């Protein structure tokens, strides 16, 4: 596949950094490839801007920052406004469709939306909306295999929340398959 750049953006408290950790772990540990994660936070603990940059490579990652983003996952309007300009011309935008209203995309770009917060609330807690989004990302992009991502989710969340998080992941994955046929 070569180099794949993923940028995840939202606000503090949405689990943006955990998404990056889970994605990188799935790719590196469970698929045996290479991954790096860099993260940034706004000055606020919760509610401020937050982002994770994940670089995925078949071989060694030589530069850990995103410069030409292949996949942009945004869960807040501010994150969309801030990070959309870095999405490459044929990049893919994934949005929390009830929180983000994107503008017009460039001709080669594609956009996919999911009501991840609402689905998370149906699963049991709004806090797992990041895991719903990971399932959706996995279904729509195929960048990381489903089983690798599920194992990484299971390995990365508190033990008493594993069942709920796996259910959230599966719901996001199923939504992507049903709505976009990937």
What would the pLDDT profile of 14-54 be if each residue is shown by its tens digit? 999 999 999 999 999 999 999 999 998 765 555 667 899 99
C-alpha–C-alpha distance, residues 74 and 93, integer Å: 8
Average pLDDT over residues 104-133: 96
How confident is the model over 73-85, as a mean pLDDT? 95
Q: Which element (helix H / strand E) includes 73? A: strand 69-74
118 pLDDT exceeds 60? yes
Cα separation, 101 vs 129, whole angstroms: 18
Sequence spans of domains, the chain: 4-180
Report residue 134 as tokens.
């990971």
Q: Quote the pLDDT of residue 83.
A: 94
Question: According to DSSP H, which parts of 32-128 are helical?
Answer: 77-83, 116-123
Tally DSSP H helices, then E strands, for the chain: 6, 6
In whole angstroms, what is the distance from residue 18 CA to residue 181 CA? Answer: 27
Pick the CATH number of 4-180 from 2.40.420.20, 3.40.920.10, 1.10.760.10, 1.25.10.10: 3.40.920.10
C-alpha distances (whole Å) from 152 to each of 2, 22, 36, 155 are 22, 6, 15, 5
Q: What is the pTM of this model?
A: 0.94
For the four alpha carbons of 161, 166, 171 and 175, in that order, the dihedral sign comes to positive
Confidence of residue 182 (pLDDT cuts 50, 70, 90): low
Instruction: Say whether pLDDT at 111 is over 80.
Output: yes
Residues 125-143 pLDDT 10s: 999 999 999 999 999 999 9
Cβ–Cβ < 8 Å for 152, 169: no
Alpha-carbon gap, residue 150 to 47, rounded angstroms: 27
Select from 75, 130, 80 the least CA-distant residue to 102. Answer: 80
Report residue 132 as tokens.
């719903």
């Amino acid at each position: 596949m070569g180099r794949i750049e993923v940028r995840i953006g939202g606000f503090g408290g949405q689990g943006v950094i955990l998404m990056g950790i889970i994605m990188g772990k799935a790719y590196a540990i469970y698929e045996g490839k290479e991954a790096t994660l860099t993260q940034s936070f706004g000055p606020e603990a919760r509610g401020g801007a937050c982002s994770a940059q994940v670089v995925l490579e078949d071989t060694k990652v030589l530069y850990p920052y995103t410069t030409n983003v292949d996949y942009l996952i945004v869960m807040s309007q501010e994150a969309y406004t801030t990070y959309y300009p870095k999405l490459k011309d044929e990049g893919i935008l994934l949005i929390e469709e009830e929180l983000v209203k994107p503008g017009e995309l460039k001709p080669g770009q594609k956009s996919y939306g999911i009501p991840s917060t609402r689905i998370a609330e149906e699963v049991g807690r709004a806090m797992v909306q990041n895991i719903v989004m990971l399932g959706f990302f996995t279904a729509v992009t195929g960048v990381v295999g489903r089983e690798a991502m599920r194992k990484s989710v299971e390995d990365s969340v508190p033990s008493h929340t594993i069942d709920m998080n796996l259910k959230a992941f599966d719901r996001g994955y199923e939504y992507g398959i049903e709505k976009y046929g990937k």
